[in-house]
Structure 1
Amino acid sequence: MSVSRQPGSPHPRLPLPEGQPDDLAAFQQWLSDAIPMVSALGISEMTRHDDSLTWQLALEPNLNDKGTGFGGALSAQTTLQGWCWVTLWLRERGLARDVVVAEASQRFLAPVTNDYRLVCKPTELNGPEQLANKLADRGKGRIALTHQLYCGETLCLEASGNYAVLPSR
């Protein structure tokens, strides 16, 4: 169900999972309601494994004029995926906090010519632990994430993002 709202009006938060993993299908539906462009990005599946978040995506809704992946759409997907990684990580810990992207960059290595997968994980192995410590000590923190986009076995894009968890309101 899509909720109509005006700019500047926040979307209601998804209730935190109580002692169980997030239902990623329900999270994806909430995400599509909260951020209208999500339903047009072609995300067919979200999975989590250890510290990674993987999306399967369709190329068709992200085509450019050359018939390959549109760089702007791919960049938006990496930024959104990082936001989701941090949001889901917080939700696992029973925290409902605001997350924002502080910095992002992309490197395009090969054209995206077919459906693809996008993998997001912490840049540093101890990144999640460092973020947990910063949240405990200061009530806010940042984490660097790395994204890799694969079309088949070909690495087509590498991206990085720095995401901030804001203090509780």
Structure 2
Amino acid sequence: MREIGVPHPRLPLPVAGQPDDPAAFLRWLEEAIPLVEHLGIAAMHRDGERLTWDLTLTPNLNDKGTGFGGALTAQTTLLGWCWTTLWLRQRGYARDVVVAEASQRFLAPVTADYRLICVPEAAQGPEALADRLESRGRGRIALTQQLWCGDTLCLEARGDYAVLPAG
């Protein structure tokens, strides 16, 4: 059980050049952030700079029987945090990541299981983050998230994620 004010132990970094095991990362995430086990994350996939979650709607229902905006917002924010954390881990960095700014735009109700996709807002974003980490020891990246229910885009989100200095 997590205690307030006590950081959760970091997941050991993957072997150099090897990607994280998505299932192991999600198990660690559920321990580190207790809310995660209630979000309905069924699977996580990484394809290049794209990170995708497949989610079930049932634990995220609102009183109208559609997706609860607060849960969807939490998911978009957390997906961006995961993108940044996994990107850092892939490069051998064990750093703290925080969301600095986030916004969402709801476009259509979520009426079935869905997927969330996170990518850098700008193609050069990851390279710029790498340069800032090298030169300043900290950095920031803008990411976008899209929630798709079948072929319907239901939510667009954007977030700035800050990588804190080592220490």
TM range (shorter): over 0.9
Aligned partner of 2:13 in structure 1 is: 16
Runs of 4+ in structure 1 off by over 4 angstroms are none
Residues in 1 aligned to 2:2 and 2:145: alpha-carbon distance in whole angstroms: 31
Q: Which stretch of the first structure deviates more once superposed, 12-21 or 105-114? A: 12-21
Structure 1 residue matching 2:6: 3-state secondary structure: coil
Aligned partner of 1:5 in structure 2 is: 2
User: 1:6 offset after TM fit, Å?
Assistant: 1.6
Q: Would you say how many aligned residue pairs link Structure 1 and Structure 2?
A: 166
Alignment of 1:14-163 (within 5 A): 14-19=11-16, 20-163=18-161
Which runs of no fewer than 5 residues in structure 2 stay unpaired?
none
Residues in 1 aligned to 2:11 and 2:35: alpha-carbon distance in whole angstroms: 18
Which runs of no fewer than 5 residues in structure 1 stay unpaired?
none
Write the deviation string for residues 102-152 of structure 1: whole angstroms up to 9, x where unpaired: 000000000000000000000000000000000000000000000000000
CA RMSD of aligned residues (A): 0.4
Amino acid at match of 2:52: T
Percent identity for Structure 1 against Structure 2: 70
User: 1:154 offset after TM fit, Å?
Assistant: 0.2
Residues in 1 aligned to 2:2 and 2:164: alpha-carbon distance in whole angstroms: 23
